[in-house]
Amino acid sequence: MNSWKWIWRLSAWLSAAATLLLIVGFAYGAKQLMFPRPNLMDSQASAEAPLTQRDPQAEGDSYRIAAIGDSLAKGTGDTTGQGFARRTAALLEAEDKQPVQFLNNLGINGMTTQELLDELQEPGVQYVLKKANVILLSIGANDLFQGGAALQTGSGTPNPAALEQALPGAQQRLAQALDKLREINPNAKVVYVGLYNPFGDVEALREEGNRGITLWNAEAAARIIERENMMLTPTFDLFQRDPGAYLSFDHFHPNSDGYERIAQRIVQGMK
């Protein structure tokens, strides 16, 4: 009987202590949540975020690959989900010369040059880019074609006037993005993946598409070669003869084979 007395005392004291603690926690939590105090932190502090202050990682003896840009960088249309970015890493790995580390795929569907410029301000993105020594970039197609919407809706074919209007601004933003990339990471090799014409087998759109894209690629190439350690990997010819075989169902993005061929090009260019 005596032992029950002790058990009672023990549980009474323990539960009293626990209850007290829990009530304090509850009152504090309810107060914090219902009457929050505004913080005095500058909400636009991201410019001084610790991640942006870091130095780029020193050149090691490994490939550290990051991809950034639009749906092509992301790998949309690739049934395996790898895209040219991971495929490039896989091909480099297969060569077995240097260890390969694939850092991040920062590709976002539908990204335009303007969105890329915004994205490059993000501390987390800058952190990844600083860590990389190979940056794969794909951008521009959405500025010119609005993500292939023109083809799917059939409404606005890429009309020459609109295309020519979009080109100079987009090119200028591309140049800004390249400069920003250099500023973030002065040493990394930047590989820009050139545009191809997804409308190659659509009679009505082929001409206009070809013209706009060759124009874009030429201007982009001019901007890229004047910057150090940057290069443009052409893809136009890969999708010229038989677009159907290398494009996915949406008729805009490459399929797995298409991405593999782009990746092979990138690896060749890096040798």
Partner 1 sequence: MKRFWAMVQNEVVKIIKKKRFYIVLLILAVLVPIFSYAQMKQSLERRDSYGSDWRLEVQQAIIDNQNSLSSDRVPQEWKVYRQIYIQQMQYYLDHDVNPNEPGGVTFTREFINNSATLFIPLMILTIASDLVSSERTTGTIKMLLTRPVRRWKVLLSKLMALLMFVSLIVASAYLICYLIAGVFFGYSGWNIPIFTGFVLNGSDVDLTYVQATPQWQYLLMQAGLVWFVGVVVALLAFMVSVLVRSTAASIVVMMAALISGSILTNMASAWTSAKYLFMVNLGLTEYLAGNPAPIKGMTLGFSLGTLAVWAAVSVIISFAVFTKRDVLT
Residues in contact with partner 1 by the rule CB under 8 A: 4, 7-8, 11-12, 14-16, 18-19, 21-30, 32-34, 36-39, 41, 43, 45-46, 49-51, 74, 101, 103-110, 122-125, 127-128, 131
Q: Closest CB to partner 1 among 92 and 106?
A: 106
Give Cα separations from 136 to 46, 54, 233 (angstroms).
25, 21, 10
Nearer to partner 1, 43 or 155 (CB): 43
Pairing of the two strands 189-193 and 63-69: unpaired
CA distance 208 to 94: 39
Shortest separation between residue 41's beta carbon and partner 1, angstroms: 8
Least separation in angstroms between residue 117's CB and partner 1 is: 16
Q: Strands 100-107 and 134-138: what pairing? A: unpaired
Nearest to 246 by CA among 263, 260, 233, 232: 260
* Nearer CB in complex with partner 1: 22/218: 22
**Cβ proximity to partner 1, 109 vs 153, nearer residue:** 109
Alpha-carbon gap, residue 172 to 190, rounded angstroms: 18
Tokens standing for residue 154: 């059939």
To the nearest whole angstrom, how small is the minimum distance from the Cβ of residue 14 to partner 1? 6
Smallest distance, partner 1 to C-beta of residue 24, A: 7
Shortest reach from residue 98's CB to partner 1, in Å: 16
First-to-final CA distance of the chain = 85
Of 215, 131, 133, 120, which is closest to residue 173 (Cα–Cα)? 120
């894209």: which residue's tokens? 213
Cβ proximity to partner 1, 150 vs 205, nearer residue: 150
Dihedral angle sign, alpha carbons of residues 251, 257, 259, 262:
negative
DSSP single-letter state for residue 223: H
Beta carbon nearer to partner 1, 25 or 168 = 25
Buried b (16+ CB within 10 A) or exposed e, 246-259: bbbeebbbbbbebb
In the complex, what is the shortest distance from the CB of residue 257 to partner 1, in angstroms, rounded to a whole number? 23
Minimum CB separation from partner 1 for residue 16, in Å? Answer: 8
Which lies closer to partner 1 via its Cβ, residue 38 or residue 203?
Answer: 38
Minimum CB distance to partner 1, residue 111 (Å): 9
Q: For residue 254, give the DSSP letter.
A: B
The conformation of residue 247, written as its DSSP 8-state character, comes to: B
Q: Which is nearer to partner 1, 109 or 159 (CB)?
A: 109
